[in-house]
Amino acid sequence: MSLNVNVAGSREWAVSGQVGKWPPVFVWNTKTGEKRSRIKLEKGARAVAACAISADGKYVATADKHNDHNVKIWDSYSGNIIFGDKGGPDPIFDICFSRKEGAPVAFSAGKKHFYHWDCGNMKKKKGLYNGNPMCSFACVTADDKGMAYAGGSNALIYKFAGNTTQKTYGFHGSGFVGAIMWLNGKLYSGGRDGRVVITDTATMEQEQAFEFGVLPRAIDCFNGEKMVVGLRNGSIVECNLGDGSMKTVM
C-alpha cells in the first residue's frame, strides 16, 4: 500500500505499510531484508495510506485510512508511539519528515489540506496559504532547512515554512504535480505536463527539465547523475542527467 526509503540518509532503511484489520507497518533493511520492527495500527485504520522514515532512520510516520485519517509518529526501534492526532475528514496522500536536525517534524498533504506535525511540542498545525489559492496536494517533501514543498492540484509547488506558505512556483503549466522529492539542495518535481523539473532550492530557479510524456508519480536520484522515474502508465524509466538519455527499465 505504501513504501518509503530514507534517501536523504544512508538508504539502508525502509518502511512499508499494508492493508488489513490491524494494518501492519514494517521497518526493514534494504540491503539484507532484516526486519527491525513491526508496528500494528489500531483496528479501524483500514490501511496505511502513506508512510515515511526519517533520514537518520530513528522515526517512522504513518497516515491511515480511518475516517479520522490519523497521523502517528513512532520510534522505529521499539515501535512505541511518540505523537499522534486526527488528521481530519479528508484523505491524506503523502507524508514526509523534515531533514533539519532536532526533534522530529513531519508534514502531511492531502485533499484540500496541509499539516505540520511538531513532535517536540506535541502539536499539529493546519496549513496557512498566506493569500495563495487553497488546493489539494498529491505529494510533499522537505529539505534540511525546515522547509516543505508540496505539489498542488493547480500545478503549483507550495513552499512552506512550518505551516505557512512562503511562496508558490509554477514550473508545470496546468494539471497537478504528481511527484516531488528534495535531495542535496535540488528539488525534483513531476507534473501533469509529463515533465520532471530540477530546481535549485537556494535560488528556486529551474536548472533542468526532462520530457517523459506521462505524469510522473515517483522520482529518485542518485549521486546527481541518474534519475529513476515511475510513471502513471506503470513504466519505470532511468534517465541520465548528463546527456538526457533514457532507458525504460520496466
pLDDT of residue 224: 86
Work out the mean pLDDT of the chain and round it to a whole number.
Answer: 96
pLDDT of residue 67: 97
**Does residue 222 surpass a pLDDT of 90?**
no
Average pLDDT over residues 64-71: 98
pLDDT of 207 > 90? The answer is yes
Tens-place pLDDT, residues 89-112? 999 999 999 999 988 999 999 999
| pLDDT attached to residue 217 | 97
The x, y and z cell numbers of residue 93, run together, are: 496522500
pLDDT tens track for 13-47: 999 999 999 999 999 999 999 999 999 999 999 99
SS3 of 54, please? coil
Q: Give the model's confidence band at 9: pLDDT under 50 very low, under 70 low, under 90 confident, else very high.
A: confident
C-alpha triplet 146, 201, 196: angle, nearest 5°: 115
114-125 pLDDT, tens digit per residue, is 999 999 899 999
pLDDT above 90: residue 223: no
**What pLDDT score was predicted for residue 8?**
84
Burial class (CB in 10 A: 0-12, 13-18, 19+), 208: middle
Residue labelled with grid coordinates 503549466: 173
Query: What's the pLDDT at 164?
Result: 98
Q: Is the pLDDT of residue 154 over 90?
A: yes
Pair 11, 51: CB distance under 8 Å: no
Domains in the chain, start-ordered, CATH in brackets?
Answer: 2-201 (2.130.10.10)
Q: How many CB atoms lie within 10 A of CB 82?
A: 16
Residue 165 · residue 159 · CB < 8 Å: yes
Can you give the pTM of this predicted structure?
0.96
Among 234, 244, 238, 182, CA closest to 210? 244
pLDDT score for 1: 82
The pLDDT > 90 percentage for the chain reads 95
In the structure, what pLDDT confidence band is assigned to residue 202 with cuts at 50, 70 and 90? Answer: very high
Apex 232 CA angle, 228 and 233, nearest 5: 100
